[in-house]
Amino acid sequence: MANVKNKTRQPGRIAIDGELTIYTALELKEKLLAGLAEAEALELDLSEVGEIDAAGLQLLVMIKQQATETGKALSFTGHSPVVVELLDLSGLAGFFGDPLLIVRKPT
């Protein structure tokens, strides 16, 4: 189960804790859209995401597109290892445009 937190009680900052999967996407969608509607700029902290699947990735794409369409700033921060892995596999890191460090071990 995923939880949406506002760790610092600041409007414009949401942290996702837990799953970002098909099982939590609908609930998270509503909370993310509400958070985006309430602020001119939204920071989405992904540091505590423990599991993400294609539905979670679609949710991130949707919220990024919604922010662009409404002229609001959206940034993703604290990418957890599973988020980094999925962004790497999907080739979508550039789409989100946020700083992301991917370190690969030499083979």
Where exactly are the structural domains of the chain? 3-96
Instruction: Provide the whole-model pTM.
Output: 0.81
Best CA proximity match to 71, nearest among 41, 99, 95, 94: 41
Measuring CA to CA, how many Å separate 25 from each of 4, 9, 74, 75, 80?
12, 23, 18, 19, 18
Q: How far apart are CA 72 and CA 7, in angstroms?
A: 21
DSSP symbol at 41: E
Q: Is the pLDDT of residue 103 over 60?
A: no
Q: Is the pLDDT of residue 6 over 70?
A: no
Amino acid at 92: L
pLDDT in tens, 57-70: 999 999 999 999 99
Mean pLDDT of all residues in 3-31: 82
The fourth-level CATH superfamily of domain 3-96 is STAS domain (3.30.750.24)
